[in-house]
Structure 1
Amino acid sequence: MKLVLIHTGGTIGMAETPNGLAPKPGLVEDAIKARLPEGVELVEHVFDPLVDSADVGPSDWNRILDLIDAEPDAPVILTHGTDTMAFTGAALSQALYGLGRRVVMCGSMLPLDMDGDAEGNLDLALQAVMEPEEGVFLAFADQIMPAAGLVKHNSHQVDAFRSVPQSLSAPTLRRFGPRNLAILTLSPALPVTALTAALGGLDGAVLRVFGSGTMMNDPDLIVSLRAATDSGTPIRCVSQCESGGLEPGTYAAGAGLWSAGVENGGNQTAEAALVSLWLRK
């Protein structure tokens, strides 16, 4: 059987240099080959140059999806930096939903050969990728997590990720087009002019609101949101809380949101909500 490795970059494939950690060509590929089960053929796709995950975006997601499509019957291990792992996990989970593919993402907080978590995460990914269940998963810190709703909750600890359950359905589109989308966050005393200006330059937005779905009691804010939705700019609301999601109607303080025509993102993470805006016509 074939196993596809897509190595995009990230800490897992770095090594010490006089100027600090930097990508080391061949490091991840050699580590995979040393662990490869007998009878498995490795198909390697290595980004050149390797990409820091802070720079990963829609064009990279499309490239990854094209590589996955090119090997229709093979499971896939994707090595990736941790900083935008949640965005890529959401992107692949939604774009591949219902296609029967199994993708296991893998990264680490310390590079290979540094007595850290990289080797254990890679071993776990190799075990997990051979399972039959379709979907996109993350192998990290002794856990196999659905990648659709990842949250990086710690910037330093080995146990860096959690997974928030998400509801998935087949998307309208399966590739990411050139859209101006962003995640915006409500905060106390946010100037409405700032929100209006941001929305004016966007094709759609995810709005992180308070708790189970509330916002400030500011009529100008409602007017701004309504003007955007009336002009055809979708605004999808999600909670600023890590889990629990939105429940419209729970508090009167949220009534203005829903009267302004915003969408209820339910239990979606901000990353998942952003991807869902991208993958619809």
Structure 2
Amino acid sequence: MKNKEGWDGKLRVEPKAVITNPEALEDSDYSDPEAPPVEEIDADEDLLADEDVNVENQITRINFPPDIAESLTELDLYDNLISHVKGLDEFQNLTSLDLSFNKIKHIKNVEHLKKLTDIYFVQNKISRIEGLEGLDRLRNLELGANRIREIENLDTLSSLEELWLGKNKITEMKNLDALSNLRIISIQSNRLTNITGLSNLPNLEELYLSHNAITDLSGLETTTTLRVLDFSNNQLSHLEHLGTLKNLEELWASNNQLTSFDEVERELKDKEKLETVYFEGNPLQTNGPAVYRNKVRLALPQIKQIDASML
């Protein structure tokens, strides 16, 4: 599934290699008969001749010369072994900080970085949203793939536009009222069972809720600015509570328990801006795959795309 900009709505986590022959890890004499021949290297060829043997492969702490602090605006230490946010005292001109794929447990020592507009702490070991007080220029906060259970301590982030919390342990959407500039919320792959906390977000445009345990779409009535709504891979059996979403352009509803084309027509036919719908994996599609697309087209003549196929 992709939106019209080509984004699939999924958490931005790099794929990991899968070991298909784990026995090779235990047997030093193991060889794969299907493997291509090994390239031979002449004995006098030293592959490390130009390398510094003292260089470590991964960084374990932040330690930069203070004389570069004033000019540095973006710092990316993605995919290392950093466990503590330290060493940034002099870097007050930073606008972007990326410490994704590290071993950080606590967000600390960033409150003084008042010019930050983007923070990326994806795939760490963070269990609480904290230590961000006063970052009133922050526009984008990415905390996906951590251990967060509660949305909290965001009240001072008055400029926040994008909040990415996919693949955590969140059970309830709450404490969002102060984020009046929020345009995008992603809480995919969490533990939500219903939709709450959105009533005071007048600029919300994109909401990503896939891979939760949501059974009811009530709670969306006030989100009249929504353009993109994704609730794929939940437990919904009825399409309802969408009547006020007049600006909807894309609806991603795959892999639920939706059965009624009448509900599809009732809830969506009046959405003049609607261009894309995804219903694959619902009984709507699986019970009659041969007639499914035609039924969707009849119910929603304004759309341009059904699932991955353009009309």
Bigger helix share: 1
Higher RCO, 1 vs 2 (CA within 8 Å, ≥6 residues apart): 1
Give the TM-score normalised by structure 2. Answer: 0.28
Bigger strand share: 1
Give the TM-score normalised by structure 1. Answer: 0.30
